[in-house]
């Protein structure tokens, strides 16, 4: 008896489902107000998602190009004429700025924070590259205003049908203080690599300059502490490690620099840093 | 500009930002309080006696929405209008609850899906972003989905209270909602997760309708459940 009941109810279910599916199809084709409303929502959501995806794509391109300019800049330590490399990096970053111009174009008339998550990795990488370049040139930290001042774009109105061809409008992109901060935190890792690299080339002065600069940045981050965004506190840990490595390098140079012939300095240094790395792996 | 100056400039920016967030949190707490009050009023429709009192409960809820409007007006003054999405996370949750409550009231009154314009009007906010504090489409949809699960509960309780016609009407309504949501191309986001729960609400209501129809209790002429 029970088994029979189950069978009937099972049949009822499938029939019921088929009816429901038919009903749904009929509804989807009908012009009921609910369906009409959802068609509007569909369009709005699709437009928004498309824009988001386009921004993610631009951001990825920016990340790649910025990373390449950073790699390029690391070569300044072992070539005679750094100016060539610096100019090449500068022109690469010009290309990156063009891409940031595309972001500014996409965001025209939008709330930039609505799509911020789409492009923040790219912008941070750009900040890292431009601060690195600026440091190598001027031995100082580029300010947020200086970065933003470079992100002003003149667009001719040829993309828009209603604008007369001669008119140009100005687009700006503002790097947020949080993105700037995170970019600077990434910069410290590059400075550490630059320090180790320059020691390898027998450059004795740069490590001391770098350790001073890194200490200033470290103090700055300690001053901000946990009032900043959540990611900052994560990066602070890596920053401490980088600073430790640079300070250790300076220590070694001071203690043993006078004893060792210059051409052997690199070897001493390499063994010492690798030793440090393995230590970290254990901890 | 020295490194120290730069960092103290950024620090100033960050603490100003935190002050704004603090202000917003205070207003949002008030909003949450009011939302809970409205929910308590509306919850009583699940009581067997509550079905007769639906109009009066809705009227009471609508009174409470006046308080919501004053809180919303206060919230608007706490931050620059063009930075809506910067602080969106703070009121996202409560706004979705309020959309649900408004949609539920409108459904109980007229058995129709509330429009986005109506919700915006009930809450005293805008629909279009350019005009100021607005109702994001995703928040609106999330609120509607909360209502769907509330309605599946209502279907069960209305049977207990002896109202056999209501589940059939709810079933039709939810099915229409479901086909509406099928039109959307959702990304893998919170809204999508919540939408994935809709099928269980649909299933639950269909079970109720099935139970009624095999017992011959669903006798509404216009419904399709008693074939």
Domain ranges of chain A: 41-139, 176-275
Fold of A176-275: Methane Monooxygenase Hydroxylase; Chain G, domain 1 (1.20.58)
Bridge partners (DSSP) listed for residue B17? none
Phi then psi for B126, rounded to 5 degrees?
Answer: -100, 165
Identify all chain A residues contacting B209, using CB atoms and an 8 Å cutoff. Answer: 16
Non-local (6+) Cβ contacts of A83 within 8 A are none
Q: Please tell me if residue B187 touches chain A, with a CB cutoff of 8 Å.
A: yes
Instruction: Label residue A277 by pLDDT band (50, 70, 90).
Output: very low
Query: Which pLDDT score, from 0 to 100, does residue A19 have?
Result: 59
Residue A108, pLDDT above cutoff 90? no
**Looking at the partner chain, which of A12, A111, A216 has a beta carbon nearest the beta carbon of B85?**
A111
B88·A221 Cβ contact <8 A: no
Interface test with A, best of B14, B195, B198, B207 (most A CBs within 10 A): B14
**Looking at the partner chain, which of A44, A177, A220 has a beta carbon nearest the beta carbon of B4?**
A220
Query: Which pLDDT score, from 0 to 100, does residue A260 have?
Result: 59
Tokens coding B21: 């967030």
**How many of the other CB atoms lie within 10 Å of CB of A159?**
8
Please indicate whether residue B4 or residue A78 has the higher confidence score (pLDDT): B4
The predicted-structure confidence for B41-62, as pLDDT tens digits, reads as follows 999 888 888 788 899 999 999 9
B184·A39 Cβ contact <8 A: no
**Could you give the CA distance from residue A277 to residue A194 in angstroms, rounded to a whole number?**
17
**Looking at the partner chain, which of A19, A45, A228 has a beta carbon nearest the beta carbon of B185?**
A45
**Looking at the partner chain, which of A41, A44, A113 has a beta carbon nearest the beta carbon of B83?**
A113
Please indicate whether residue A18 or residue A4 has the higher confidence score (pLDDT): A18
Mean pLDDT of A253-266: 66
Instruction: Label residue A26 by pLDDT band (50, 70, 90).
Output: low
Eight-class DSSP state of A175: -
Eight-class DSSP state of B189: S
B112·A33 Cβ contact <8 A: yes
Instruction: Label residue A25 by pLDDT band (50, 70, 90).
Output: low
Query: Which pLDDT score, from 0 to 100, does residue A18 have?
Result: 58
Report whether B166 contacts B154 (CB < 8 A).
yes
CA-nearest of A38, A30, A32, A114 to B141 is: A38
Query: Which pLDDT score, from 0 to 100, does residue A102 have?
Result: 93
Mean pLDDT of B93-101: 96
Residue A282, pLDDT above cutoff 50? no
Return the ∠ at Cα A92 (arms to A87 and A94), rounded to 5°.
Answer: 95
**Could you give the CA distance from residue B29 to residue B4 in angstroms, rounded to a whole number?**
37
Q: Please tell me if residue B211 touches chain A, with a CB cutoff of 8 Å.
A: no
Lowest-confidence segment of A168-177, A180-189, A211-220 by average pLDDT: A168-177
**Could you give the CA distance from residue A115 to residue A56 in angstroms, rounded to a whole number?**
9
Query: Which pLDDT score, from 0 to 100, does residue A80 have?
Result: 78
Residue A165, pLDDT above cutoff 80? no
Instruction: Label residue B205 by pLDDT band (50, 70, 90).
Output: very high
Mean of pLDDT over chain A: 81
Share of chain B above pLDDT 70, in %: 96
Please indicate whether residue B149 or residue A227 has the higher confidence score (pLDDT): B149
Q: What are the CA-CA distances from residue B9 to residues A145, A181, B2 (Å)?
A: 11, 11, 11
Mean pLDDT of A11-39: 66
Query: Which pLDDT score, from 0 to 100, does residue A36 have?
Result: 92
Query: Which pLDDT score, from 0 to 100, does residue A6 have?
Result: 42
Q: What separation, in Å, do the N-terminal and C-terminal C-alpha atoms of chain A show?
A: 69
CA-nearest of A218, A219, A229, A224 to A179 is: A229
Report whether A188 contacts A217 (CB < 8 A).
yes
**Could you give the CA distance from residue A132 to residue B16 in angstroms, rounded to a whole number?**
28
Q: For B7, name the nearest residue in chain A, comparing CA atoms only.
A: A220
Please indicate whether residue B88 or residue A76 has the higher confidence score (pLDDT): B88
Q: Please tell me if residue B16 touches chain A, with a CB cutoff of 8 Å.
A: no
Tokens coding A219: 């103090």
CATH no., domain B140-218 = 1.20.58.200
Q: Please tell me if residue B176 touches chain A, with a CB cutoff of 8 Å.
A: yes
Identify all chain A residues contacting B182, using CB atoms and an 8 Å cutoff. Answer: 24, 28
Residue A62, pLDDT above cutoff 80? yes
Identify all chain B residues contacting A217, using CB atoms and an 8 Å cutoff. Answer: 3
Report whether A42 contacts A48 (CB < 8 A).
no
Query: Which pLDDT score, from 0 to 100, does residue A197 have?
Result: 86
Bridge partners (DSSP) listed for residue A154? A170
Report whether B107 contacts B101 (CB < 8 A).
no
Residue A151, pLDDT above cutoff 70? yes
Query: Which pLDDT score, from 0 to 100, does residue A43 have?
Result: 94
Q: Where in chain B is the domain with CATH 1.20.58.200?
A: 140-218
Q: Please tell me if residue B210 touches chain A, with a CB cutoff of 8 Å.
A: yes
Query: Rounded to the nearest 10 degrees, how much is the dihedral formed by the CA atoms of B57, B60, B65, B66?
Result: 170
Interface test with B, best of A4, A5, A34, A108 (most B CBs within 10 A): A34
Query: Which pLDDT score, from 0 to 100, does residue A262 have?
Result: 58
The CATH homologous superfamily for domain B1-135 is Translin; domain 1 (1.20.58.190)
Mean of pLDDT over chain B: 91
Mean pLDDT of A26-31: 59
Reduce the DSSP state of residue B223 to 3 states and report it: coil
Share of chain B above pLDDT 90, in %: 79
Reduce the DSSP state of residue B197 to 3 states and report it: coil
Nearest Cα of chain B lies from the Cα of A82 at a distance, in angstroms, of 25
Q: Is B188 left (phi over 0), alpha (psi -120 to 50) or beta?
A: beta
Residue A186, pLDDT above cutoff 90? yes
Identify all chain B residues contacting A45, using CB atoms and an 8 Å cutoff. Answer: 137-138, 184-186
Q: What separation, in Å, do the N-terminal and C-terminal C-alpha atoms of chain B show?
A: 81
Query: Which pLDDT score, from 0 to 100, does residue B227 have?
Result: 38
Which ipTM score applies to this complex? 0.88
Report whether A72 contacts A142 (CB < 8 A).
no
Mean pLDDT of A55-66: 96
Please indicate whether residue A269 or residue B13 has the higher confidence score (pLDDT): B13
Lowest-confidence segment of A79-93, A195-209, A218-232, A269-283 by average pLDDT: A269-283
**How many of the other CB atoms lie within 10 Å of CB of A262?**
9
Indicate if A176-275 has the same CATH topology as A41-139.
Answer: yes
Residue B97, pLDDT above cutoff 50? yes
Query: Which pLDDT score, from 0 to 100, does residue B148 have?
Result: 95
Residue B152, pLDDT above cutoff 50? yes
Query: Which pLDDT score, from 0 to 100, does residue B98 have?
Result: 97
Query: Which pLDDT score, from 0 to 100, does residue A256 have?
Result: 77
Residue A16, pLDDT above cutoff 50? yes
Q: pTM above the 0.90 mark?
A: no
CATH no., domain A41-139 = 1.20.58.190
Lowest-confidence segment of A54-68, A141-155, A220-234, B133-147 by average pLDDT: A220-234
Q: Please tell me if residue B128 touches chain A, with a CB cutoff of 8 Å.
A: no
Q: At what angle do helices B88-110 and B3-43 cross, to 10 degrees?
A: 20
**Could you give the CA distance from residue A122 to residue A95 in angstroms, rounded to a whole number?**
13
């Amino acid at each position: 008896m029970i088994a029979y009941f189950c069978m009937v109810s099972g049949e009822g279910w499938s029939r019921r489902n088929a009816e429901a599916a038919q009903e749904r199809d009929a509804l989807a084709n009908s012009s009921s107000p609910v369906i009409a409303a959802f068609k509007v929502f569909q369009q709005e959501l699709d437009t928004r998602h498309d824009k988001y995806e386009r921004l993610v794509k631009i951001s990825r391109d920016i990340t790649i190009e910025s990373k390449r300019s950073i790699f390029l800049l690391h070569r300044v330590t072992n070539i005679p004429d750094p100016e060539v490399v610096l100019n090449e990096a500068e022109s690469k970053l010009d290309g990156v700025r063009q891409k940031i111009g595309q972001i500014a174009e996409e965001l025209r008339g939008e709330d930039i924070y609505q799509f911020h998550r789409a492009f923040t990795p790219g912008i941070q990488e750009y900040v890292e590259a431009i601060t690195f370049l600026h440091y190598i040139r001027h031995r100082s930290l580029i300010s947020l205003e200086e970065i933003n001042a470079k992100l002003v774009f003149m667009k001719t109105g040829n993309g828009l049908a209603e604008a007369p061809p001669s008119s140009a409008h100005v687009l700006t992109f503002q790097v947020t203080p949080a993105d700037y901060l995170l970019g600077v935190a990434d910069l410290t890792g590059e400075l550490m690599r630059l320090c180790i690299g320059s020691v390898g080339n027998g450059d004795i002065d740069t490590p001391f300059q770098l350790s001073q600069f890194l200490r200033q940045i470290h103090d700055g981050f300690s001053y901000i502490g946990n009032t900043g965004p959540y990611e900052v506190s994560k990066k602070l840990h890596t920053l401490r490690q980088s600073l430790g490595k640079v300070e250790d390098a300076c220590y070694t140079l001071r203690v043993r620099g006078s004893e060792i012939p210059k051409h052997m300095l690199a070897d001493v240094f390499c063994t010492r840093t690798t030793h440090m790395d393995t230590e970290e792996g254990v901890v | 500009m020295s490194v120290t100056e730069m960092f103290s400039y950024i620090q100033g920016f960050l603490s100003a930002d935190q002050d704004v967030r603090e202000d917003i949190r205070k207003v949002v707490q008030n909003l949450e309080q009011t939302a809970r009050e409205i929910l308590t009023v509306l919850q009583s429709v699940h009581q067997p006696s509550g079905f007769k009192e639906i109009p009066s409960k809705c009227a009471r809820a609508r009174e409470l929405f006046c308080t919501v409007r004053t809180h919303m007006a206060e919230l608007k003054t706490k931050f620059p209008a063009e930075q809506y999405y910067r602080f969106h996370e703070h009121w996202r949750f409560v706004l979705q609850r309020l959309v649900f409550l408004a949609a539920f009231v409108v459904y109980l009154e007229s058995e129709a899906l509330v429009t986005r314009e109506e919700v915006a009007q009930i809450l005293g906010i805008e629909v279009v972003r350019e005009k100021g504090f607005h109702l994001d489409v995703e928040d609106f949809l999330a609120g509607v989905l909360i209502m769907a699960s509330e309605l599946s509960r209502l279907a069960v309780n209305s049977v207990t209270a002896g109202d056999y016609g209501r589940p059939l009407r709810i079933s039709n309504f939810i099915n229409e909602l479901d086909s509406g949501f099928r039109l959307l191309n959702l990304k893998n986001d919170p809204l999508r997760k919540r939408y994935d729960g809709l099928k269980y609400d649909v299933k639950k209501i269909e079970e109720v309708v099935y139970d009624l129809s095999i017992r011959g209790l669903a006798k509404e002429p216009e419904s399709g459940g008693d074939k």
